[in-house]
Amino acid sequence: MEFTAQQIAAFIHGVVDGNPLAKVSNFSKIEEGTPGTLSFLSNPKYSHFIYDSNASVILVNNDFVPERNVKATLIRVENAYESLAVLLSVIERRKPKKTGTSPLAFISTSTIIGENAYIAPFVFMGENVIVGKNASIHSGCSIEDNVVVGDNVTLYAGVKIYEGSKIGNNCLLHAGAVIGSDGFGFAPTDDGSYRKIPQTGNVILEDNVEIGANTTIDRATLGSTIIRKGVKIDNLVQIAHNVEIGENTVIASQTGISGSTKLGKHCTLAGQVGLAGHLQIADGTVIAAQTGVSNSVKQPNQILMGYPAIPIRNFQRSVVVFKNLPELQRMIYALQQKIDELEKKQQ
């Protein structure tokens, strides 16, 4: 389908700057824009591409000021990236949706499946499973006994959900995610071996949670590991037993969170962050890539970096000193040599 710039602007509450009748039928990256496509500019690093882009329509932030002529029609919005997300979501919802249950799925007779759900071939569902309306369960998923899967949930191929876990509404779990595997609990014994501590709790994902491919979330030893509503977790993340992740927190790839740590609301964890166990992380904390957090963070809305984690400005000043250590060392050696020479002359 084709849409004009004016139609798109009306939908996302934008203002057209250029030809309101410019038509688009697809999307493109700004550096690869072609006629008939819509692109966007939100990161200033890509600003130079807008002047030569062949995209017909480009979303920009309201404060964008072009340095020279732009061929494309612009749609000015409050947040170009967010507006793009809105448009892509509309396109995604228009895609045909599969429904029905494959005869090649193994489903317990006690399982309840909501209307308009899709159950692909080679899905396994254990006893007393509940699957909500409009859910999509793709091939190779395993849903064990007493699991609850909410409305509008999508489980991509190979997702494994252990017994007793609860998945809220509008959740999206990508391929290979494992929800409810045993927490890493072992008690040392007198002979130096380790006795396994049974993990008897579960995992709860609240509404609107997204879990990346091959991410693992361990069941609690007692009680629940809880992922609060709106949390977004990237691929290859490990979340240990009894962890709690606050609302609308985002966690990037290869992060590991140790047992019983509690994250506040609206936190951001960049790639390869490591958190020790039994910590409390305040609301709004931002933890930069490859940071190691070994102590609780009590003050909200800080940006932390380094190991051990410290406020980012302190870390940046420390890095400057660290980079100059060889030169500082030479200066100290030279000063020490001069001191030694002066002491010899005074003897």
Which DSSP category does 246 fall into? -
**Residues 122, 197 within the same domain:** yes
**Residues 13, 60 within the same domain:** yes
Say whether pLDDT at 52 is over 80. yes
- Strands 250-251 and 268-269 come out as parallel
Q: Quick one: pLDDT at residue 40? A: 97
Cα dihedral sign for 71, 75, 80, 82?
negative
Q: Of how many residues is the chain composed?
A: 347
Domain residues for the domain of 60 are 3-94
Bridge partners (DSSP) listed for residue 138: none
**Residues 113, 186 within the same domain:** yes
> DSSP letters along 51-100, please?
GT---SEEEEETT---SS--SSEEEEES-HHHHHHHHHHHHHHHS----E
Contact (CB, 8 A) for 276 and 294:
yes
Number of compact structural domains in the chain = 3
Q: Quick one: pLDDT at residue 278? A: 97
**Residues 155, 226 within the same domain:** yes
Two structure tokens written together for 233: 């977790």
Say whether pLDDT at 36 is over 80. yes
Average pLDDT score over residue span 293-322: 94
Q: Quick one: pLDDT at residue 345? A: 82
Q: Quick one: pLDDT at residue 1? A: 79
**Domain closes at, from 48, 79, 94:** 94
**Domain closes at, from 57, 72, 94:** 94
Average pLDDT of the chain?
95
Which DSSP category does 338 fall into? H
Say whether pLDDT at 246 is over 90. yes
Q: Quick one: pLDDT at residue 90? A: 87
Read off the pLDDT of residues 179-238 as tens digits, 9 standing for 90 and up. Answer: 999 999 999 999 999 999 999 999 999 999 999 999 999 999 999 999 999 999 999 999
**Residues 59, 43 within the same domain:** yes
Which DSSP category does 44 fall into? G
**Residues 86, 197 within the same domain:** no
Say whether pLDDT at 347 is over 80. no
CATH of the domain at 18: 3.40.1390.10
**Residues 303, 330 within the same domain:** no
Say whether pLDDT at 46 is over 80. yes
**Domain closes at, from 46, 67, 94:** 94
CATH of the domain at 206: 2.160.10.10
**Residues 167, 277 within the same domain:** yes
Rounded Cα distance between 263 and 218, Å, is 16
Q: Quick one: pLDDT at residue 15? A: 97
**Residues 126, 249 within the same domain:** yes
Q: Which residues contact 298 (CB under 8 A, 6 or more apart)?
A: 280, 282
Is 138 tagged catalytic? no
> Which pairs count as long-range contacts for 195-201, CB under 8 Å and 24+ apart, including other chains?
197/221, 199/241, 201/225, 201/241, 201/242
**Residues 221, 307 within the same domain:** yes
Q: Give SS3 for 126.
A: coil
**Residues 72, 109 within the same domain:** no
Q: Quick one: pLDDT at residue 342? A: 87
Query: Catalytic one among 48, 138, 174, 241?
Result: 241
Average pLDDT score over residue span 144-165: 98
Helix axes 312-323, 325-346, angle to 10 degrees: 60
**Residues 294, 161 within the same domain:** yes
Read off the pLDDT of residues 311-329 as tens digits, 9 standing for 90 and up. Answer: 999 999 988 888 888 898 8
- pLDDT-derived band of residue 95, with 50, 70 and 90 as boundaries? confident
